[in-house]
Amino acid sequence: MAWWIWLVVAFAIGIVEVATFTFVLLWIAIGAFITAVLSPLIGSVWGQLLLFAIVSTVLLVATRPLVRRWRQRRTYPERRETMIHKRGVVVEEAQPGAFATVRVQGELWSARSDHPLRRGQAIVVRDATATVLTVEPAEEE
């Protein structure tokens, strides 16, 4: 196969990769590009196809775990993580272990505490799940 056919294939797959952003087709496009570069040295179409398959597979297998780790890396903390150590105020009081309602950064949250919480009492967030904050009474300044 002519080198320019491999170059067209690499370019077309590259465009699809940019549209989907899956990081799978990227390695196949690079495999097609490397095959385009080396195709003048390999006259057989089967040899070119074998080179394409080997290069694409090696790139995919070698780099997929790195890409997966990179894509899973969070660049921003989740909202609940930003709540820890924030101060708030009790809106609805509760006894230890029961749910209270607290206002932290202008938002109402369900909260639990090992201490009794009184309406208007200042609190500090010690832990957070997706829906419930664990709070303690704030030390008076």
**Would you place residue 74 in the very low, low, confident or very high pLDDT band (cuts 50, 70, 90)?**
low
Confidence of residue 130 (pLDDT cuts 50, 70, 90): confident
Residue pointed to by tokens 């597979």: 57
Q: Is the confidence at residue 141, as pLDDT, over 70?
A: no
The percentage of the chain sitting over the pLDDT mark of 70, rounded to a whole number, equals 98
What single string gives the DSSP state of each residue in 79-100? GGGGGTT-EEEEEE-B-TTS-E
pLDDT attached to residue 140: 67
Q: In the predicted model, is pLDDT for residue 133 greater than 90?
A: yes
Q: pTM of the prediction?
A: 0.51
**CA max distance for the chain:** 83
Amino acid present at 40: P
Work out the average pLDDT over 120-140: 91
Residue 58 scores a pLDDT above 60: yes
Q: pLDDT of 9-34, one tens digit each?
A: 999 999 999 988 777 898 999 999 99
